[in-house]
Amino acid sequence: MKITKAFQLSPLENRNAEVEDIISADLRDPSKLSDYLESMTRMEHPLGAQCDAMLAEFSSSIQTGTVNQGDCASNRTCAANARKFLLALGESVIKVKRPSVRKIVQDAIRAIEVQAEALGARYGFSLLPDDLLQDILLLATGKSEYNDTFQPGRDFTLEKPVMRASLILSHTCQRFRSIVLDSPQVWNAISDQMKNPQMLEFCLTQSRGAPLDIGLNIYGYPNFIPFAEKFKIFLASANRWRSFTLGVIPRTKRAREDQWLGGHWHALCDNLLAIDRMSAQLHLPLLHHLDVGLSFVPPTERSNPRFHSYTHWSMPSLTSIHFRNCVPMLFPNRITHFSLLYHQNWMEKPCLHLRELANFLHSCGCLEDIELRLADSIVSIDGLSLPVVIPNVTRASLSVRGCGIYETFDFCRAFQFRDAIHLHLGFEYLNYDLRDVTKPDYEPFISQVLALHPQLTSLDLSLEFNRRGAPFKIPPIAQLHHLKELTLECTHWDVWEKSEFPYGYHVPPLVSLEVKTSPIGQRTGHWDVGARWTEQLISRLESEHGLERFALLTISTTGKMNPVLGRGIYELLDADKIRFVSRAEERRYPHTF
């Protein structure tokens, strides 16, 4: 509604000609409005009635309720003009001589201001530029949280709610619809969880020329779209694939049970063979990340060349690969990052042949970052001369969970990354004979790995125990003469209760120390031990090297409890060298234990 109509005084019954003549004036002109207000004091009808009529007309133009999107433009104009009119009205009131009249008009101005602000807020989004509104809509869908650093194993689980939120926003108004549909990054993470091919094609169309993150469920459940049909749809956009995940795990309970119990093997086999048949000589010019999971393929079939179609693909931009429960076959590559997760399901206990893994790692001439995780599995070192030296790798991560003592020992001493400067070591719940009263600890395994990597400048050590009381004295870091950064994480700090630094024990000249604790580790008595141990380490560091170069002590927790440090820490370190941080819960995505 135009401001001229919203603020024009409606005729009152029995109004005389003089009033009607004055009303015909342009009341937005300050001088004419001033004359009008002066004349209103001599009229039969009080000024209050006129203001009430004016407010009523203005209110009718901004009624609450369902917004008519077709009138957005005119209503935005109304809100903008209202502010201008109120400014002019305020200037006119100054010229009014009678205080009673001035007060009435000022009250009217304040009442109108409230409604004008409400009108402006209602159409606030429409006043924003397109690029800013696009950022807001991406934030509302949840897409902005991971779009720039897409992690296939995690983010395909978020795909469905993102799509749902995007479609809901697109139905809000025409402008929202235009922006959402014209934002390729909303539609570029696509998997076959959708129930019809039309939706797949719609997303591919709306993604326009944006790089695509494609996920394919090969397990045969849920079977919304015939596998060959949906894979053919994906292949039409192969020149835009940025990442490809072969083996997106369905999130339904029934699907998981079928997979664990070995169900749908025939469908899985047919799907893998269809991929091999349809993707011969496939060219993927933009593919940076390849994710392959054969978690539910029988161990005897995992080396079937037809299940490894990627060996025949052209991937000139490939820099990162992640494999689950299978060792990749040899293929020409220039990858810089390699990740392997090997774990068992309920029906089998697969064996990881380290010789096959070593052969593949030797074929990767550009490898810089490697991550190996072993869970509830066994390993074989047959035909392998230990340790296997892997050059050029500067960052390495080795994690073992739920494995036997001998498997853990073989796994830890299998590889030597001679150029590594950063190493993550994780040991969780090692299996050993519960009748063994010696309670073997993790120190031999840690020592075995550290002895192979003396050039480390950064060490991240994570320990989780399957029972309390397992002895662990101190991390065997004395042999790391170049170590600058140390990170320690432990679930049961009480196992270090009797830990002491023996006479002559060498502490490297650390620059930073991060101590991670969990809600379990913060229970009464647990973190107290961790705090005392941290104080001992800082004290020994001071006595050997001084603390002038020590920059930061970080206490990190995932729980709501705030860990408390002893007074001795604050006597050794200035407060600005100590910080407390809270980190998000970890290990909640498929690619972690």
pLDDT higher than threshold 60 for residue 26? no
pLDDT-based confidence at 489, cuts 50/70/90? confident
Prior bond of 391 cis (ω within 30°)? no
CA gap 369, 337 in Å, rounded: 5
pLDDT higher than threshold 50 for residue 439? yes
Per the model's pLDDT, the better-predicted residue between 533 and 474 turns out to be 533
93 CB neighbour count, 10 Å cutoff:
20
Query: Under a CB-based contact definition with an 8 Å cutoff, are residues 377 and 344 in contact?
Result: yes
| pLDDT tens string 225-271 | 788 888 898 999 999 999 898 876 655 555 555 555 555 677 788 88
Per the model's pLDDT, the better-predicted residue between 401 and 153 turns out to be 401
| pLDDT tens string 106-128 | 777 776 676 666 655 555 566 67
Per the model's pLDDT, the better-predicted residue between 137 and 241 turns out to be 241
Query: Under a CB-based contact definition with an 8 Å cutoff, are residues 464 and 493 in contact?
Result: no
Query: Under a CB-based contact definition with an 8 Å cutoff, are residues 493 and 525 in contact?
Result: no
Task: Write the DSSP assignment of 391-449 as a string of letters.
Answer: -S--EEEEEEES-BHHHHHHHHTSEE-TT-SEEEEEEE--B--TT-TT---SHHHHHHH
Looking at residue 112, its pLDDT comes to: 67
pLDDT higher than threshold 90 for residue 412? no
CA gap 257, 253 in Å, rounded: 6
pLDDT higher than threshold 90 for residue 206? no
pTM to 2 decimals?
A: 0.73
Query: Under a CB-based contact definition with an 8 Å cutoff, are residues 361 and 370 in contact?
Result: yes
pLDDT higher than threshold 70 for residue 2? no
pLDDT higher than threshold 90 for residue 355? yes
| pLDDT tens string 170-196 | 777 777 888 888 888 777 778 766 767
Single-letter code of the amino acid located at 112: I
